């Protein structure tokens, strides 16, 4: 049984006084500004410079008095004040324009973030944890172990870093980087709220990806409620198998979360939010990409308002899994469509830039 969770995100977004400025609303920034002896209208200016101009220091905010900025900058350098911005540790660019960043956090930990541009949108793949405790057998991040959860400020900073680097507005973001978002639900929901309300990214352009934690999908639906409106972001559940036996070989934690229980909780999510669920399915050559398994997956999802994203595997050096042929991928996709399952194939961006999650970090740290 899952304990009761707040019905509104506002009840989980209170900001302690020593927290970074990033992640605070305009009202909270205004209150902070007044505590520093500045007029209230400067709260709006601070809000704009933080979220629209990606300021990394109060010294950059030229509309503030110079003497006050210098005083605040001294506090920043002394560690008494934190805007919440990270430093770029490494930057890798693929021929297709995809940019992968390694970001160094205040405590020295390094996380991955990816910017994926196209003609019409700029998508950011964000991390929610330093490392990941789920230990999925095919994942480079899982091989590297787990250190800690990220704060909402550290999640928001990833989006602003990409926006600043590309000099372009971010339109979409996916929680598909390092970590399991539903093991950090409170900070993820707080970040979603800020990115929507303060940065200006529509929730319909956001996706939260999970391998499934018992009770947490239901919790996400309830915590995601904003101002009595149901969450508009997309839930993406990583299946990666068409049955429980294979799934728990690939995802060790699935032993405690039977396939049917996972699907039942997804149905509850749909009832609470009215939003269909996306299912992620990484195709591994010779393991889960047969037509028989496509038939089995279609049977599991029959009558479910959902969408399946097929993802050809990005190989990593730690394991011997292989990427399936394009013919195999397209055959699997067509089999699902023939069984009336909405399906698309997502070919990974930036393969030349160590695109597998956790791969670049493992090499450069």
Catalytic residue annotation: 112, 357
Bridge partners (DSSP) of residue 131 are 146
Burial of 359 (C-beta count, 10 Å sphere; 0-12/13-18/19+): buried
Cα 7–Cα 206–Cα 295 angle in degrees, nearest 5: 100
Nearest-angstrom CA–CA distance, 237 and 212: 7
Nearest-angstrom CA–CA distance, 180 and 168: 28
């Amino acid at each position: 049984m899952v304990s009761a969770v707040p019905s509104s995100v506002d009840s989980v977004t209170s900001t302690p006084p020593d927290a970074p400025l990033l992640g605070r609303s305009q009202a909270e920034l205004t209150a902070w500004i007044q505590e520093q002896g500045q007029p209230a209208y400067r709260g709006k200016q601070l809000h704009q410079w933080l979220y629209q101009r990606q300021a990394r220091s109060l010294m950059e905010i030229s509309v503030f008095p110079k003497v006050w900025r210098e005083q605040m900058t001294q506090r920043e350098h002394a560690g008494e004040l934190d805007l919440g911005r990270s430093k770029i540790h490494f930057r890798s660019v693929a021929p297709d324009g995809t940019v992968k960043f390694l970001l160094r956090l205040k405590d020295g930990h390094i996380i991955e973030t990816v910017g994926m541009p196209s003609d019409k949108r700029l998508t950011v793949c964000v991390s929610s944890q330093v490392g990941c405790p789920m230990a999925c057998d095919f994942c480079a991040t899982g091989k590297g172990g787990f250190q800690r959860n990220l704060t909402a400020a550290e999640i928001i900073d990833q989006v602003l870093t990409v926006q600043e680097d590309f000099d372009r507005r971010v339109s979409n973001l996916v929680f598909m980087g390092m970590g399991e978002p539903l093991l950090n639900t409170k900070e993820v929901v707080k970040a979603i709220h800020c990115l929507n309300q303060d940065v200006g990214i529509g929730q319909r352009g956001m996706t939260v990806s999970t391998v499934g934690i018992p009770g947490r999908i239901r919790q996400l639906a309830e915590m995601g409620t904003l101002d009595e409106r149901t969450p508009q972001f997309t839930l993406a559940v990583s299946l990666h198998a068409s049955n429980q036996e294979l799934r728990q070989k690939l995802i060790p934690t699935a032993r405690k979360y039977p396939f049917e229980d996972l699907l039942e909780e997804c149905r509850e999510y749909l009832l609470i939010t009215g939003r269909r669920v996306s299912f992620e399915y990484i195709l591994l050559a010779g393991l889960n990409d047969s037509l028989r398994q496509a038939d089995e997956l279609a049977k599991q999802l029959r009558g479910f308002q959902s969408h399946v994203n097929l993802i050809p595997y990005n190989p990593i050096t730690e394991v011997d899994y292989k990427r399936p042929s394009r013919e195999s991928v397209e055959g699997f996709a067509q089999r699902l469509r023939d069984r009336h399952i909405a399906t698309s194939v997502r070919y990974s961006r930036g393969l030349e830039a160590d695109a597998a999650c956790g791969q670049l970090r493992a090499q450069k740290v």
